[in-house]
């Protein structure tokens, strides 16, 4: 049976619509690359390139389709072309000192843009990790349209492929980190904490802090596991298992909160590290109490004196950070009053505990005190810069702050200072109660040295 005039052209359209891209990928096109032109009898006589609008005669018996096929495959405007004839110049922002790229584009390097399916796919997986996006974002209509406009040659992977890519990134990073720990002779500091989820499951997170080969402070989560309980034995076993898994024996310090179970866990860990034969000063300074946690305990004693006023605001606002909650609520004091006047259900919803004038006065003075503690917590809680050299200075500043509160004229402030001083002295009342590493780090700070330390002690 004789082939029709449009048979070859239809075969051509099917072939050029799946032109092979870079890295062996097969881009899926929603429409063929050729538009057919028919005569009055409905016979296909010409073909039009949809990218550059050039028209070629392609009647089967007279002209053939070779010329049209060759043009479509090599069309300069075809984004699915097999080969790129000319590299594209691009200006890539250079990484800043913090490790991020500059968004303003004031600094950077000039390079060439080359399509790489695997590289773009990895960048997509990293975007999902960094921005904590769901895997199914790659199946969204808006995302697919965005990619089609930005990079039509990129074949969007499924969410299952993305999940495998992310797990591969995790595995590669884990192998590289283990290799670093194995080849590096420096010590690593550990921080850990435990908590219970709403499902009543106990979890433990262990983070390693170290200086890399470029003298940059690094923070890596090396374990996130469920534990049986918050007892010292369970914590100690989880720590030991994590260190053995990573091959970490050169541990410098372990920072934990002030729960009694952590004292038991660190006592067990000291014996283990001692048996491994890689301790520093026989683990005498291994146990580091979390200064941020102690500071929080000190502040909690202060809040007990203003519990009723704070509770009235918290019932209406419900924030976790007491300072930020009260500081923001003060800006809307008149809103509270107007809401109470115009909406009778407002007071009933809060159980009749709407803040009054005396409550706002108490909150105003409380915010002024909490501001110093909040700023101090922010300074010592940094994880992208070294903070050990500032701990002793912050402790001495806190002692001075409490002393000023104790000498205040207002009875309420004086009572707060007295209660907070009792909690402060429990942990830092005497230098012997502190980890001596705090003093050494302060001495190594060129701004302080050893000459300033007696003043801070006093």
Say whether 90 sits in a helix, a strand or coil.
strand
442: Cβ–Cβ under 8 A, 6 or more apart, which residues?
389, 390, 391, 392, 393, 448, 453, 456
- Half-sphere exposure of 30 toward its Cβ, with a 13 Å CA cutoff? 4
The pLDDT score that the predictor gives to residue 127 is 95
Per-residue burial over 277-286, b = 16 or more CB atoms within 10 Å of its CB, e = otherwise: eebeeebeeb
CA angle 132, 135, 139 (to 5 degrees): 130
The ranges of the chain annotated as CATH 3.30.420 are 187-278
Task: Evaluate whether 19 touches 81 at the Cβ level (below 8 Å).
Answer: yes
Q: In what order do the strands lie in the sheet with 55-57?
A: 34-38, 44-49, 55-57
- Burial level of 333, CB count in 10 A (0-12/13-18/19+)? middle
Per-residue burial over 369-391, b = 16 or more CB atoms within 10 Å of its CB, e = otherwise: bbeebbebbeebeeeeeebbbbb
Find the Cα–Cα–Cα–Cα dihedral 333, 337, 343, 346, rounded to 10°: 60
The H-or-E segment that residue 322 falls in is helix 322-330
The H-or-E segment that residue 256 falls in is strand 251-256
Say whether 54 sits in a helix, a strand or coil.
coil
Rounded Cα–Cα distance for residues 178 and 176 (Å): 5
Mean pLDDT by 10 residues, the chain (458 residues): 48 47 37 75 82 81 76 75 59 57 56 82 94 93 91 90 94 92 86 90 92 88 90 90 89 89 89 79 84 85 71 76 87 84 76 79 86 90 84 89 88 84 85 84 85 82
Task: Evaluate whether 65 touches 12 at the Cβ level (below 8 Å).
Answer: yes
The H-or-E segment that residue 360 falls in is helix 357-380
The pLDDT score that the predictor gives to residue 19 is 42
Rounded Cα–Cα distance for residues 63 and 419 (Å): 98
| Phi/psi at 3 (5° precision) | -70, 145
Rounded Cα–Cα distance for residues 54 and 75 (Å): 10
Neighbours of 206 (CB within 10 A): 23
Closest CA to 114 of 138, 93, 83, 144: 83
The pLDDT score that the predictor gives to residue 30 is 38
pTM above 0.75? Answer: no
Q: Is it true that domain 187-278 has CATH number 3.30.420?
A: yes
Query: What is the full DSSP assignment across 112-180?
Result: EE---HHHHHHHHHHHHHHTT--GGGGG-HHHHHHHHHH-TT--PPPHHHHHHHHHHHHHHHHHHHHHH
């Amino acid at each position: 049976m004789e082939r029709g005039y449009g048979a070859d052209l239809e075969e051509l359209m099917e072939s050029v619509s799946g032109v092979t891209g870079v890295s062996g990928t097969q881009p899926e096109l929603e429409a063929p690359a050729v538009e057919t032109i028919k005569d009055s009898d409905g016979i296909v006589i010409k073909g039009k390139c949809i990218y550059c609008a050039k028209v070629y005669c392609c009647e089967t018996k007279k002209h053939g389709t070779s010329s049209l096929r060759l043009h479509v495959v090599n069309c300069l405007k075809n984004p699915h072309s097999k080969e790129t004839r000319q590299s594209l110049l691009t200006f890539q922002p250079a990484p800043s000192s913090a490790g991020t790229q500059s968004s303003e584009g004031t600094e950077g390097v000039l390079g060439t843009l080359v399509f790489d399916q695997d590289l773009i796919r990895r960048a997509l997986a990293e975007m999902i990790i960094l921005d904590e996006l769901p895997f199914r974002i790659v199946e969204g209509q808006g995302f697919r349209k965005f990619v089609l406009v930005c990079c039509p040659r990129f074949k969007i992977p499924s969410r299952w492929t993305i999940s495998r890519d992310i797990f591969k990134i995790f595995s590669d990073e884990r192998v590289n980190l283990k290799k670093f720990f194995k080849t590096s002779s420096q010590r690593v500091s550990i921080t850990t904490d435990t908590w219970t989820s709403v499902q009543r499951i106990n979890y433990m997170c262990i983070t390693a802090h170290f200086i890399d080969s470029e003298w940059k402070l690094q923070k890596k989560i090396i374990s996130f596991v469920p534990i049986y309980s918050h007892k010292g034995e369970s914590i100690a076993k989880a720590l030991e298992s994590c260190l053995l898994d990573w091959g970490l024996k050169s541990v410098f310090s372990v920072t934990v909160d002030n729960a009694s179970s952590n004292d038991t866990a660190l006592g067990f860990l000291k014996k283990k590290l001692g048996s491994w034969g890689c301790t520093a000063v026989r683990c005498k300074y291994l146990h580091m109490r979390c200064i941020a946690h102690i500071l929080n305990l000190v502040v909690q004693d202060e809040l007990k004196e203003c519990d009723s006023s704070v509770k009235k605001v918290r019932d209406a606002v419900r924030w976790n950070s007491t300072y930020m909650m009260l500081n923001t609520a003060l800006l809307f004091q008149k809103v509270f009053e107007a809401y109470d006047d115009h909406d009778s259900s407002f007071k009933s919803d809060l159980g009749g505990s709407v803040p009054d004038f005396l409550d706002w006065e108490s909150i105003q003075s409380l915010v002024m005190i909490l501001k110093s503690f909040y700023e101090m917590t922010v300074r010592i809680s940094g994880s992208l810069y070294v903070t050990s050299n500032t701990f002793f200075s912050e402790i001495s500043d806190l002692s001075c702050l409490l002393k000023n509160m104790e000498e205040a004229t207002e009875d309420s402030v004086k009572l707060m200072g007295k209660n907070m001083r009792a909690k402060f002295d429990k942990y830092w009342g005497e230098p012997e109660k502190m980890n001596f590493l705090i003093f050494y780090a302060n001495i190594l700070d060129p701004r302080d040295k050893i000459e300033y330390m007696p003043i801070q002690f006093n």
